[in-house]
Amino acid sequence: MALPAPAHAHRNTYWRDRTEKELLKQEFTTSEPELLAGMSEAAPPQGAIIVEFKYDLKGRKGTKSKARCVHCKFPNHYKGFVIKVSDGTRRMVGKDCGRKLYGAHFTDSMLDFDAAYKHAKLLKRRQRLIEAEPILTAGLARLSTHRSLAQFASMASRVRSVLGRQLIATLDGVAKRGDGLTYEEKVRDLAAEERASENLSPEHVAAMSKLNRADLKRYRKRHGLPDAERYTYIKRPIGPLRGIDLLHAQFMPADRLEQLAKELRNSIGALRLDQKWGKTSLALASKQLSELIGQIERQVEKLRAPIEFFDHAHLKAICAWVQHQPTGSPLECGVGWIGYLNEYDEPVHAQLVAGYEVPSTEFIAAFWAAVEQPDGEAA
Ligand SMILES: [Zn+2]
């Protein structure tokens, strides 16, 4: 590794000048800084330096968890840097100690090093993403032919015809409010009645106290007084609304998954492009890929909806709720089914397909396991 000429200006571009190929091969951390060639404990010469490695020795066995710092002159830092100095030898320093020795030049070298380290991590991640693509491709191929996709579509169409468009629109509203299935109970509003009676003149109160119920009503009407009985509505809970995704027939998981698989192919295809990959474009491409995979997981999650919707307790709640709907035709439910009798007295039912199973997303976990570094560092 050649050192830059002793700097008149501070600008240190040693790392910035490395090619992608060099960055991919480069180690930026060391767990045994003492073993590097040319490591010295002597006072370093002034002049040009480069920050070469980072170390973090926390957890290293025995008393070796700290490295001897050339500035402090004893093992003082868990974390620090290996610097290469102007005569080509190396020194270990803590971050602040490096600054004390080399001032702004050290800060400059450290920034140069950090930027390259980040860039290299993203380049290595890009490589692993590309290498792990077959795991995704195979998993998505299995997913796209999984029988739950067709079963979901047929259950969704069935349940829509049983519930009807209007009930589904109302249920959509319930789902958006997020407060579950409820009904409104009409109850006397005693507080409002109390307030209304307080406004009556003593003459009215005296006259009305002698009247029976029917006469009282006539008296109130004749004198333009409000009704004595006031009502209000109280919201009563029935139960949570679940499996609403089954009712949204316009977004079938099968169609969305097909589209997402295509977008994913394009996204990885773009990553394969042989271009100069900067940190920003790498981070963006990698984020887009993660988001697409997240959307795939959400589609598989949607496939859970029939299991939740056709749960017996949930169906009972739906039937109870329908009874309180002004336009609802009565629905019946049994274990795993909901339906009604049509005009020919034939049962029209929607039910959970026997043996219905949500496909596994194990391949996505396997893909990430192959992409993420073994030390868990989000590269
Ligand atoms: Zn130090």
The alpha-helical segments, DSSP class H, found in the chain are: 20-25, 95-102, 104-131, 133-144, 147-177, 190-198, 202-208, 213-222, 253-272, 279-302, 305-309, 312-323, 362-371
**Same domain flag for 148 and 275:** yes
Per-block average pLDDT, block size 10, for the chain (379 residues)? Answer: 51 87 93 94 92 92 84 92 95 92 92 94 93 95 96 95 92 93 91 80 84 85 81 94 88 92 94 88 93 96 96 94 82 89 89 96 96 60
| pLDDT tens, position by position, 205-217 | 888 888 888 888 8
How far, in Å, is the centroid of ligand 1 from the Cα of 76?
6
pLDDT at 249: 67
Amino acid at 70: V
pLDDT at 1: 52
pLDDT at 378: 42
**Same domain flag for 84 and 113:** yes
- Count of domains for the chain: 3
**Same domain flag for 271 and 297:** yes
Contacts of 302 (CB under 8 A, 6+ apart): 152, 245, 253
81 inside domain: yes
Rounded Cα distance between 15 and 28, Å, is 11
**Same domain flag for 110 and 65:** yes
9 inside domain: no
pLDDT at 267: 93
Q: 């090093």: which residue's tokens?
A: 113
Residues whose beta carbons lie less than 5 angstroms from ion ligand 1: 69, 71-72, 76, 94, 97
Assess contact for 336 and 356: CB atoms under 8 A: no
**Same domain flag for 348 and 315:** yes
Residues forming a β-bridge with 56? 79
pLDDT at 328: 61
377 inside domain: no
The DSSP secondary structure of 40-62, one letter per residue, reads: --SPPPSS--EEEEEEE-TT-SG
How far, in Å, is the centroid of ligand 1 from the Cα of 343?
89
**Same domain flag for 212 and 267:** no
How far, in Å, is the centroid of ligand 1 from the Cα of 5?
26
56 inside domain: yes
pLDDT at 55: 94
How far, in Å, is the centroid of ligand 1 from the Cα of 190?
78
**Same domain flag for 174 and 221:** no
Structural domain range at position 277: 133-179+244-371
Assess contact for 183 and 234: CB atoms under 8 A: no
**Same domain flag for 141 and 216:** no
pLDDT at 8: 46
How far, in Å, is the centroid of ligand 1 from the Cα of 199?
85
Task: Count the neighbouring beta carbons within 10 Å of the beta carbon of residue 114.
Answer: 14
The separation between the first and the last C-alpha atoms of the chain, rounded to the nearest angstrom, is 25
How far, in Å, is the centroid of ligand 1 from the Cα of 69?
5
How far, in Å, is the centroid of ligand 1 from the Cα of 325?
75
Torsion of Cα atoms, 97 then 100 then 101 then 104, to 10°: 110
How far, in Å, is the centroid of ligand 1 from the Cα of 54?
14
